Amino acid sequence: MNSTPTPPIDLRSDTVTQTSPGMRAAMAGAPVGDDVYGDDPTVNELQRVIAERFGFETALFFPSGTQSNLAALMAHCGRGDEYIVGQDAHTYRYEQGGAAVLGSIQPQPLENDADGGIALERIAAAIKPDDMHFARTRLLALENTMGGRVLPLAYLRDATTFAHTHGLRTHLDGARIFNAIVKSKLDERTAVAGFDSVSVCLSKGLGAPAGSVLLGSQDVIAEARRWRKALGGGMRQAGILAAAGLYALEHNVARLAEDHDNAAYLSVGLRDLGLPVVPPQTNILYVDIPARHVAPLTEHLLGRGIRASVAEHTRLVTHLDLSRAQIDAALRAFREYPGW
Ligand SMILES: Cc1ncc(COP(=O)(O)O)c(C=O)c1O
């Protein structure tokens, strides 16, 4: 009997990674304290290290990227204020409208350009005049990477300068900022220059089980710390999770290049099958699957131990728990689908 388990091939997201033995050892050995009192040395160390690395005054650890983004929006905007955001942005589209529902902040969604940015003319046209009929436009929120695309550095400079010139603050959802950094070979400080706050996720491509960090000035983070507590994100001995984040920062950043190579390799293989693929810039690729194949292809892949969110516009994501051999196995399964 063959008892060797087949390693799962999960292309749904880079959030599916298992905690590695080294990371678990770091977590088990972490000194901890009550972080609501600011007493957790490992959380404090993570916040210090990451703030230093990105060139911010300070940082704050959160359980999730959703909460980190929301606390940032609430730190920048008060009740009845407005933030400008892309139609496709996570904070607008995939966080249940938390800014409006929980923050009393009106979103002003604008169409995203093909490269993931928002045209400055559209931003200019959306900024409301100082008039009691309008919400006060306070903030521009961008995302990098955006659906796996790296926003051009020149655009980020122009957009943040433009926002500041017009009296807006700037927030970056940098859930996958390290993918952008590795892809564009930038240093952390250059990659986020011009933003008043940045949310960085540790539990996407970096492989930590949970955790995001919000970067900002002392004032912004003091406000975000208050909101974090109200939102239920005040964790106690959170150093166990912060230790995973520190481990991830040390061991799992440079290797993101492998995920990018694997995504490129996967996209070429799918294209060779005649499928329309958008060539990936980082670890996320999109492939169009005709509607009639969605359900049977999902079943076929599952039968071969492959999990994928197959849809007409399918997103496939590579990560540290996917080797080149597993990508080959996935490609084989796509090739052997009898329905093509
Ligand atoms: C771009 C982006 N921002 C924010 C989040 C939210 O992160 P979390 O799932 O930790 O709440 C995600 C989650 O996938 C994301 O992809």
d(CA 25, CA 48): 21
In terms of C-beta density within 10 A (0-12 exposed, 13-18 middle, 19 or more buried), how is residue 331 classed? middle
- Written as one letter, the residue type at 313 is H
Nearest CA to ligand 1 atom 7: 65
- The conformation of residue 19, written as its DSSP 8-state character, comes to P
Residue closest to 199 by CA, chosen among 217, 210, 213, 187: 213
Tell the residue nearest (CA) to atom 5 of ligand 1. 65
Residue 143 CB–ligand 1 contact under 6 Å = yes
Output the pTM of the full model: 0.97
Q: What angle do CA 48, 203, 29 make, to 5 degrees?
A: 60
pLDDT at 2: 45
Protein residue whose Cα sits closest to atom 8 of ligand 1: 65
The span from the CA of 55 to the CA of 115, in Å, is 26
Kindly state if the Cβ of 201 falls inside 6 Å of ligand 1.
yes
pLDDT, tens only, 227-238 = 999 999 999 999
Distance, in Å, from the CA atom of 97 to the CA atom of 2, rounded to the nearest integer, reads 49
How do residues 280-317 score in pLDDT, each as one tens digit?
A: 999 999 999 999 999 999 999 999 999 999 999 999 99
For 142-146, what is the mean pLDDT?
A: 98
Nearest atom in ligand 1 to 204's CA: 14
